[in-house]
Amino acid sequence: MTTTSTPPSATEPTGAGDERRTFASINPATGDVVGVHPVHDEDDVRAAVARARASAGWWADLGFAGRREVLTQWRGVLTRRLAQLGDVVHQETGKPHGDAQLECTLTIDHLAWAGSHAEKVLGRKRVSPGLLLANQAASVEYLPLGVVGVIGPWNYPVFTPMGSIGYALAAGNTVVFKPSELTPGVAHWLADSLREVVPDHDLLQVVTGFGDTGAALCRAGVDKVAFTGSTATGKRVMAACAETLTPVIVEAGGKDALLVDEDADLDAAADAAAWGAFANAGQTCAGVERIYVHERVQDRFVELLAERARTVHAGVDVDAKIGPMTMPGQLEIVRRHVDDALSRGGRAVVGGAEAVGDRFVQPMVLVDVPEDSAAVTEETFGPTVTVRKVRDMDEAVELTNAGKYGLGSAIFTAKSGEDLARRLRTGMTSINSVISFAGVPSLPFGGVGDSGFGRIHGPDGLREFTYAKSVTRTRFKAPINLTTFERTPEQETTVATLLLALHGRASQLPKLPRRPLETIRGRRRN
């Protein structure tokens, strides 16, 4: 997922004798200026982290119930102003209002889950101390890290960063958020709405700018960084964080595959494939970019997918179902992938090279594309999809797992979905749907390979923003004290005998079966 861009910049006075660089966020569908924002430098970022640090103790001490109440009030603000937030998303990304509203709706549901489940997941729990330390009471709880830095993307400027922000806040951390330079207005809207609920504490702050601002956040003393973006940028974030051993979560996009078995509901599969490939103009990290179809149903599936693709068009009119390419530079990547696919024998069943315009890309369905082409191996991040015929699902699994990415995947089948899902080297799989896993708050979201590591959402997402605190307490004097220099040889013998009774039998190796003498002689002759 790409997050780098260069919107127009300007200079805006910020005080007597002081000038600060600014940049404009642009409506990608029209080219109109949506807003002007400052380019925050290293000092600005460190100051924001210091303010967050000053509020972190208050927020942590508020406890689960207090934080849940604040997040509930914030959720109410987001819900009542859903249309307003959706319009800001629409202005800065160009996506249709309906898609913007869907993104915000899912975000609110996740925020509700995080606030209501944080205590159950993170609260103090008693654990067994075991027989050898039976005199101890043992417990574990998950405590907030302090200040979390979030670096967010532009394609889902509410849903994706809030998967870190909402869960980090629920876990008891304060947050400094660096949004994409393409969607700073959305970030400010979110922070301002939370400040209405808690005006006297810096729970969520926004720093804006380009790559240097993000790098400054990595080096500003935050306790963890949650990053979403391209694999290349993720590596740079990791390098910056490594300087101070700051842990990171990296969600770095994907090249998700959809598998269609011979027993699949082809109408449902084609409908889901179209939405997974073309929704948000294909600018979805867990969207469908390649499809592997059983040879017995491939022709019919392509026919059904093509029918649906022809009903979708990108534009600004009321009938347009997808918007523009939010980041102008992505147009050249889409064009390169399509040109490479077509020049190497691929065919465009729908669309073609002419489908890539100056702002918009119309849906494309490509077949007969070589597996080593850029359109199959690299993240396209546009409304294009490749379809390949396979002899069976074993081949489909093999081809899916051959890629370097491993974010999400989808399977359409009547019987073998669970088995196929386990065999796919991806962090998430939807069976007979696409991207459903992202909308389930209790499920972790994240990938493997070049798609990154760490998880947001669900219990795993809450724990990502904490550290485990283990505590033991002596309840009574132990019959045998193992941690003293006064330990006697007799006590050591007693412990060894006890250990043998507890674990020795399980460690005995099984006897090997005796082989017939003829078998042994035969092997010697060979």
Residues annotated as catalytic (active site), given as ranges: 251, 285
Helix spans in 435-480 (H)? 436-439, 458-463
State how far the Cα of 104 lies from the Cα of 382, in Å rounded to an integer.
Answer: 22
Cα–Cα nearest to 123, from 413, 463, 355, 402: 463
Cα–Cα nearest to 247, from 162, 173, 154, 183: 173
Do residues 414 and 263 lie in contact, with contact meaning Cβ atoms separated by under 8 Å? Answer: yes
Cα–Cα nearest to 258, from 396, 418, 366: 396
- Beta strand 409-412 with 347-350: parallel, antiparallel or unpaired? unpaired
State how far the Cα of 147 lies from the Cα of 122, in Å rounded to an integer.
Answer: 17
State how far the Cα of 373 lies from the Cα of 347, in Å rounded to an integer.
Answer: 13
- For 174, 184, 196, 204, the CA distances from 191, given in Å and listed in that order, are 12, 11, 9, 6
For residue 107, the SS3 value is helix
Cα–Cα nearest to 56, from 271, 156, 201: 201
Helix 42-61 to helix 211-218 angle, to the nearest 10 degrees?
Answer: 50
Do residues 209 and 115 lie in contact, with contact meaning Cβ atoms separated by under 8 Å? Answer: no
Helix 184-197 to helix 159-170 angle, to the nearest 10 degrees?
Answer: 30
Say which residue the tokens 């642009």 belong to.
Answer: 26
Take residue 124 and report the two structure tokens written for it: 């103090």
- For 146, 278, 360, 469, the CA distances from 153, given in Å and listed in that order, are 23, 19, 20, 32
| CA 379 to chain centroid | 15
Cα–Cα nearest to 107, from 69, 160, 61: 160
State how far the Cα of 244 lies from the Cα of 247, in Å rounded to an integer.
Answer: 9
Do residues 446 and 452 lie in contact, with contact meaning Cβ atoms separated by under 8 Å? Answer: yes
Q: In the chain, helix, strand, coil percent, each to 5?
A: 45, 20, 35
**Bridge-partner residues for 244, per DSSP?**
none
Helix 63-80 to helix 184-197 angle, to the nearest 10 degrees?
Answer: 120
State how far the Cα of 450 lies from the Cα of 388, in Å rounded to an integer.
Answer: 23
- Beta strand 136-144 with 125-127: parallel, antiparallel or unpaired? antiparallel
State how far the Cα of 107 lies from the Cα of 165, in Å rounded to an integer.
Answer: 11
